[in-house]
Every structure is written in C-alpha cells, then in structure tokens.
A = this chain, B = another copy of it.
C-alpha cells in the first residue's frame, strides 16, 4: 500500500504510461485469476491500482481486451521460461525427466497462470483465437521435446509411439491437474496434492511415469 518503487513521489503522481499499463496488467492478472472473467470487476481492478478505471479503457479498450492482454503476458512468460531450457546435453532419459520436472516446477510456481488457462478454457479459448500474438507462436518446449524424442528413439531407448505434442500433453496433464484441481480433489479425497511434504513424491512420480511409458517393453 505504500510506495514501492524508486524515486518515491511524496503523494504526487508521475506520468508514466508504461508503469501505469504494467500495474493495470498485474492487478488484472490477479483479479481475473482469482474470480474468473465474469467474476472480476473492472471497478475493483481499477481500485486496486494507483490509477483509475478510465485508464483501463484508455490503454486496453475494455474488459475483454484487458483479459486478452493478461493472457498474452502470462503465455509470453512461460515461453520465456521455456527458452531457457538447457537439457539437450543430457542423455534422453535424463533430459525428458528434467523437462518434466521443469514443467512441474513451473506449474507449481505459477498457480495464477493455471487458473487463467482454466478460465480461458471455460470460454473455449475465444480470446486466444482472437489474439494474433497468441494463436501464432507455439511452445519452445515442443521443439526441445522433438529433438530429445528423436535421439531417444534412434538409440533404441524409447519405444513408445508418441510425438512431442502428445508427450507434452501427457506431462502437462499431471502438472496441471495437480494445481488446477487441488481444491476439489482435496475436498473429495482428503489429500492435498500440493502439500509441501508430498512435493518430491509427486515430482518423482511424474518422472517415473513418463520414463516408464517411453521405455516400456512393448513386447509384453
């Protein structure tokens, strides 16, 4: 609630388009993630900002476009993280495990992102479809996975009949479910999938599952 950035104007407002825009985006991300698209209130987003509702319409045009901008930023962040992937020096088994673990960690570290994705799916991805930026680019992780799979298959280690996209779905489902559905799962089965003490258990479980699948003896 107190001023948190550098030069700290006493109470006066500096004009800083970039900062205002960024602050709106940050607050909107929290609110949309917390309450869903329809549940989030433009007035409330504005109130939690150091600026006014007028600025939301000035910079973004409307609620819908604001939500799209929130999605764009959220996805661009995960893409940035994926670009830092550096696993191709590992052997295929270790590389896949490492990649799965990074996905696991990223999902755990960004629950708001998970919620936004859930929400966007309720809306049948209409905002993604309408966004040139989002519908264009794909995930760097897919390319990395493709190369690892090729190497693994060449060496005869991997026997499974999957491509990178399917494998990515497989890895993501577990990571996503664990975060997205923790509440209903916890309420119904009395088990907290995100309990700190269980973290390593589930992280290992994910890796074991993926590796077991990829390397299973299909003759059986």
Binding site for B on A (CB under 8 A): 35-39, 75, 115, 117-125, 128-129, 134-135, 138-139, 142, 160, 162, 165-166, 168-170, 172-174, 176-178, 180-191, 193, 202, 205, 208-209, 211-213, 215-216, 220
CA distance A128 to B119 in the complex (A): 19
Shortest Cβ distance from A142 into chain B, in angstroms?
7
B128 touches A122 (CB 8 A): no
Known: A181-B121, A209-B213. Contact between A128 and B39, CB under 8 A? no
The residue of chain B having its C-beta at the shortest distance from the C-beta of A118 within the complex is B118
A184 touches B142 (CB 8 A): no
A180 touches B121 (CB 8 A): yes
Give which listed residue, B37, B162, B166, B188, contacts A134 with CB less than 8 A: B188
A189 touches B168 (CB 8 A): yes
Give which listed residue, B142, B173, B180, contacts A174 with CB less than 8 A: B173
B38 touches A188 (CB 8 A): no
Chain B residues near A186: list those with CB within 8 A: 125
Give which listed residue, B142, B188, B193, contacts A128 with CB less than 8 A: B188
CA distance A178 to B125 in the complex (A): 14
Give which listed residue, B36, B129, B172, contacts A38 with CB less than 8 A: B36
B170 touches A176 (CB 8 A): no
Give which listed residue, B123, B170, B185, B188, contacts A209 with CB less than 8 A: B170
Give which listed residue, B118, B135, B212, contacts A122 with CB less than 8 A: B118
CA distance A75 to B115 in the complex (A): 22
CA distance A142 to B185 in the complex (A): 12
Chain B residues near A39: list those with CB within 8 A: 36-39, 122
A162 touches B205 (CB 8 A): yes
Give which listed residue, B36, B125, B182, contacts A187 with CB less than 8 A: B125
Identify the 10 closest CB pairs spanning chains A and B, nearest first.
Answer: A173-B177, A38-B39, A125-B183, A212-B216, A38-B38, A212-B212, A209-B213, A128-B187, A125-B187, A173-B173
